[in-house]
Chain A
């Protein structure tokens, strides 16, 4: 029960929330028709996690695409995790992008600006 997953679909990524290890992963395309509905169960898990967060929390985002409404939900989600730092918890957010894709690089930078907190932007 400590691992929450959503399978990869055409318009949505594989999602993994590993509460035991403090790991959250998004891998794939993120353009759900209804971003609020898609994020609802994930948000629930994240809220649960924040109640018993691990000392080290890592978020790995490896997204090929993210639509604007999902981006807003993602910012909310990351903001919530970021708030854990107030409790002395270390939160690492990693934005992975293909090194030749400037648009995804920009997306990572935009995300960092909107979040107003540092994000590790890592090419692959």
Chain B
């Protein structure tokens, strides 16, 4: 308690110093504090009116303290006085004592020592009443201090001795120290150096003791703090260790769990492997069973196939045997038949050989005959005057021909003195200087050998007739007709053979061409114009119903270059083309009109080519073909 009182004192001094310092800078209380004081005052007033004096005293005390602390002690004193009044009403003596003490301290600061002493005494008396020895001692020290300031050293010493006695009683070392300090000071001022020194020594001793105790106390406190701290650290470490242990435990537990898990997995894996293995084994077993089944089935199948083949084989063998028996019988018959056929074949072969030989013989015979016929036909050189301006297209169907060509020049001997007339027939009975050139295309009835026979007759007769100076074409035909009928006895037999023919005679040095035809015409083209001049419609030879057969003589005047064509029906009647039709007179005329301006040998080539093309589809030539062409330019031509 003493200690607290001394502290209050010490704080008061400090506070007062601070307040004084503040007051120096400002005579006004800051607004905020003033307001706070007003609030406390208002509150105190309110509470006082309400009868709560204790709380009212509290707020009033607060307001007074604010004044005091902030350097306005004079303003604090009335408030403290009011607070004392309030506390008196509730009988709070301790508060009254403290308030009086406060006022005393203010007066001390104000150096109003009598008033300060008065208030300290009031506080002392209350403390004595309350028998609070530490407070009594504190008050005595304050009083002694004021008495010292008032230079009442004897009073002060007396006061201090009392305080010292109490301090000794209380064994309050700090209080003692203050007492000794003040006593030393007071006795020094009183001039009692002995006592002053005595008290100073005591002061020093007790100060040291306090210091030591305090130091010891501080050390022990520090030690305690350190110990506390250490124990705290230990606690924490223990806690930490505990935590680490827990952690470790947990980790271990975790690890164990993991290990367990792994183990479980391992077991699970092993189980799975076992299951797989079992499955595999099962599959293997199944496969083996399957395989065994397959092998068995294949084996069964093979047996079946072998059996089937065997049966088939034996069946076939039987059938074959039957067939073979049958075949053997058939073979025997075939052999017999073969012998027969061979015999027949031999006969046939004999016949064939015979026929072949006959054919060969006949062909040879005909070939030979052909040489005779060829020898008979006039040589090309006899064409003389027409040599370069004529052609003869002669194409027999067979080896020998029923068609033939015949030509000869004739004239009175005096008219024939040139080299070119050397093969002309010399006729004495003709009028003087008469000469001409006869040319004929003849188609005897039939073809081949009969045709050839007829041609021999015809050719021979023509020669004979002309050598008898019959040179007019129509007269030649008439004589030919009559002679054939006579030779073949056609008036008594049913022989009808004869000739269709056209015969031309070039006379008057080519200024005229005489023509007669037995069924056959002449075509002549002059100035691009084609003329088709029909002969008589009756043939030479054959049946004769009229008394005398006469042929018509046609005279063609040649004023400009003219091409003449006489021919058998072999060319125009040839089947062929696209539809196997006849070449026809119309097409023939057209063709001649196209080619008549060409040189005669070229015209022959064209006609041959055209006929070859035409026959391609039909191939077979139906009759002998003879076409004779000759060209006469009246301005150049001479017989």
Contacts and interface: CB of A to CB of B under 8 A. Distances in A.
B398 to A, nearest CB: 10
Contacts of A102: 584-586
B357 interface: no
Interface residues of A, number: 22
B601 interface: no
A103 B542 CA distance: 21
A116 to B, nearest CB: 5
A55 interface: no
A103 B572 contact: yes
A68 B443 contact: yes
Interface stretch (B361-369, B478-486, B494-502): B494-502
A72 B582 contact: no
A103 B629 CA distance: 21
Given A101-B582, A101-B584, A103-B585, A68 B539 contact: yes
Contacts of B500: 68
Interface string A17-54: 00000000000000101010000000000000000000
Contact of A110 (B446, B494, B519, B584): B519
B157 to A, nearest CB: 194
A111 B569 CA distance: 16
A72 B445 contact: yes
B19 interface: no
Given A75-B543, A114-B537, A103 B582 contact: yes
A76 B519 contact: no
Given A65-B622, A101-B582, A102-B585, A72 B543 contact: yes
Nearest to B538: A114
Contacts of A68: 443, 445-446, 500, 539, 569
Interface in A91-124: 101-103, 106, 109-110, 113-114, 116
Interface in B226-247: none
B573 interface: yes
B185 interface: no
Contacts of B586: 102
B543 A114 contact: yes
B537 A113 contact: yes
A76 B496 contact: yes
A73 interface: yes
B545 interface: yes
B623 interface: yes
Contacts of A33: 448
B538 A103 contact: no
A5 interface: no
Contacts of B448: 33
A72 B537 contact: no
A72 B543 CA distance: 8
Contacts of A101: 582, 584
Contacts of A85: none
Interface residues of B, number: 27
Nearest to B534: A106
A41 B163 CA distance: 206
A65 B584 CA distance: 11
A116 B448 CA distance: 30
Contacts of B538: 113-114
A56 interface: no
A114 to B, nearest CB: 6
Contacts of B446: 35, 67-69
Interface string B15-41: 000000000000000000000000000
A116 B582 contact: no
B494 A76 contact: yes
Interface string A68-80: 1100110110010
Interface in B588-639: 622-623
Contacts of A69: 445-446, 450, 496-497
A75 B582 CA distance: 23
Contacts of A110: 519, 537
Given A65-B622, A68-B500, A76 B582 contact: no
Contact of B496 (A64, A67, A72): A72
A116 B572 CA distance: 26
A92 to B, nearest CB: 21
A76 B495 CA distance: 11
Contacts of B445: 68-69, 72
A104 B430 CA distance: 42
10 closest pairs, A vs B, by CB?
A72-B496, A113-B537, A69-B446, A69-B445, A68-B445, A110-B537, A103-B585, A116-B545, A72-B542, A103-B584
Given A31-B623, A72-B542, 9 more contacts: A65-B573, A67-B446, A68-B445, A69-B446, A75-B543, A102-B584, A103-B573, A103-B584, A113-B537
23 contacts: A31-B622, A31-B623, A65-B582, A67-B622, A67-B623, A68-B443, A68-B569, A69-B496, A72-B496, A72-B497, A72-B542, A75-B496, A75-B543, A76-B494, A76-B543, A103-B572, A103-B573, A103-B582, A103-B585, A106-B585, A110-B537, A114-B537, A114-B545
